[in-house]
Structure 1
Amino acid sequence: MGAETRQAELDVRDLREADEPAFTGLAQRHRRELHVHCYRMLGSFEDAEDTVQETFLRAWRRRETFAGRSTFRAWLYRIATNACLDLLAKCRPEPATGGEVLWLQPYPDRLLDELPAAGADEPEAVAVARETIELAYLVAVQHLAPRPRAVLILRDVLGWPAKDVAELLGDSVNSVNSALQRARAGMREHLPAQRQDWTGGEEDAGTRELVRRFTDASLAKDVGRLAALLREDVRCSMPPTPGLQIGRDAVVADWIADGFESLGSLRAVPTAVNRQPAVAFYLWQEREGAYLPLTVDALSITGGAITEILIFHDDQFPRLGLPERLPADGTP
C-alpha cells in the first residue's frame, strides 16, 4: 500500500471519527469560498449564508458518507450545490425574467478579500474570479434554470470536469454538456455583448475620476450633470423594488419623477461591492441631527461612461461595513 493511499485512509478515518467542534473547524476553513459559490447560485447574500449553514449541518450528519474519493473541499462543494438546488426548488422554482433580479444583494469586497488568492501564474483564474462575481454576471446567471445554472458555475467558474458534475447531479456526461451549451447561450442573451463591457480589472484613474464626478453631481442633485455621465443604453434598477429602467432618457425621467432634485442635504462615502465601485449616500435627518443611510449605488463603467447602476436599500449598509450614521459635518 502506497504512502498516499495510507494517508487518504487516515484522513477519511480522522474525519469520520472527529467530534463536532473538530469537524466544524475543518469545514470552516472553506466557509468563504462556499459562501461565494452559494451566492453565485442564489444571488442573495442572506440566502447564501443560510445555505452554507445548511451545508455544514448536512456534512456533519453525513460524515460517514465521505469515502475519500474526492477531497474534503470538493465533497463540501457537492453538498453546498445540492443545498442550493433544494432551496431554489422550494423558494424560487422559476428563474428571474425581464433583466432584473429582485432578490439580488451586493457582496462586500472586504469579504471577497478573504478568498484564497490565485497565484501570479494564474491570470485567467484571477479574471474568471473577478468577472463571475460582478453584478452583471449575477443578474445574467439568475435568469438560468437552476440545474443549467449549477452546471455553468461548476464547469466554467470552478473548472470541474463534466464527469464530476454529472456524478453530482445524477446525470449523464452528455446531458451535462448539453446543459452547459444551453446555459452559455442563455448567458449571452443577458450579458454585455463584448468581453470589454465588463467593469473588469483593477480600478484605474479614469474610473476613479468618473466615480468622483458621479458622486459630486449626486451630492449637488444635478440631474443634467448626472445624465452626461450615462451611456445612452444605461440600465438602472433598485432591488427588491420592481422596475428596470433602460436608456438614459428613462433613467433620467425616473430620477426626476422620484423627486431626486428635491431631496435634502446628502453626503457620500466611497465603497466597493462585487469588485465594482460603489457610493453610499446618506440623507440629513433633522430629528436625528445626523446623516442616515439612504442608498448604495453600485456602478458598472465602460469606455468612460456609466453603463449600469444598481441601487441597494439602506438595509445593506451594516453588511457592507458602512457607518450607521454621519455627523453634521458629514465625516465618517
Structure 2
Amino acid sequence: MQDVTNLWFMKVIAQYGSPDYFFTQYFRVNETSRLNRTILSSITENDTGRPVFAQMIGESIPDLVRTAKELCTYNIAGVDLNMGCPAPRIYRKNVGGGLLREPEKVDKILAELRQAVQDKPLTVKMRVGFENTDTFYEILDIINRHNIDLLSLHGRTVKDMYHGVVKYDLIADAVKRVDCPVLANGNIHSATTALEVLENTGAAGVMVGRWAIGNPWIFNQIRQALRSEPITPVPLVEVRNYIERLWQTPSKDNFPVQSRLGYLKMFLNYIALLVDAEGHFLRLMRKTSTELELFNLCDSVLLSDSTKTLALAPYLGL
C-alpha cells in the first residue's frame, strides 16, 4: 500500500504476526526513474524474516525491463507489476489500473518482463477490469501465455475504487482459468471473511491490505482460523500500545507535529472501525486537533475497560 507499507510499518506489523510475504510500495518507473532508496530499504534493511516482493508501476516497456533487472540484483522474493491501482492520478497516466484498458499493451509488457525476469518469480496485481469486466478473461489468458507465477486479484473494477460489492465469483473464475496460484483480494477484513473467501473462490490464499492497518493481528488470526482454533481476543490496551508504536515513527524528529497527526489519523480511520461499533470514537478522533486531545481520547476509549477487546469485524456505518 502506497504511503503505508514502508520498512517501518513492516517492522511494526511483524511484532504482531507477519504475513507470509510482504509487497513493497510501488517503484514508479519511467524514462528518468531510478530506484527509490526509501522503498529499496524495505528490501535491503528488512529484518522481519519474511520474503519481500518488489512492486513496480509503469507502462514504458524498456524502463520496466531495466528496473526489473536491477531489482533482481537484490534479495527479493520476486518482481510484481501493479495493474490495479485505482487512484485517478495514476490510471490517467495509463499505469496501474489504467493498463486494464489495453490488453495488447499488457501482452507486450508481460512478454518483455518474462524474458527479463527468469530467475525470480514474476507476479501481477490487478483488478477485474477498469470500468467494466469486458477485458477480464482476455487478460487472464495473457497471464497464462506469459507464465506468470502468481496473480493477486482484487474483485472490484478500477472505477469501483474500494466501494461496492467484491466480485468473488470472478476471482473463482480466475482460479479455474489461470495456471498460477491466485491470491484473493478485496475487503478481507477478518479471519472469518478470509476463510469464507478461500472456500468460495478456491484461491491459494488471500491478500490483506487496508484492514491490516486496523488489525495487525489479522494474519495470526487467519492462521488460527485455518487450524480451526479459537481466535485469540485482542485487549484494547494492546491496541493503545499499537497506536503508540505508530506514533513513534523513526522520522518523527523531522516530521511536523500536525503532519504526524494527519498521518496517524490515516491509520486510526481503520483502527477506529474495529474499536467502537457505534462509530463514536471515529467521529471524535477526526475532530481532534492536537496530540494531547488525540491521545486523551485514545486513553479514555481504549483504557477505560480492561475487559473490552478489538472487534472481529469492522463497523462499516460511515
Greater relative contact order (CA < 8 Å, ≥ 6 in sequence):
1
The two structures have a TM-score, normalised by structure 1, of 0.29
Greater Rg by CA: 1
Higher helix share: 1
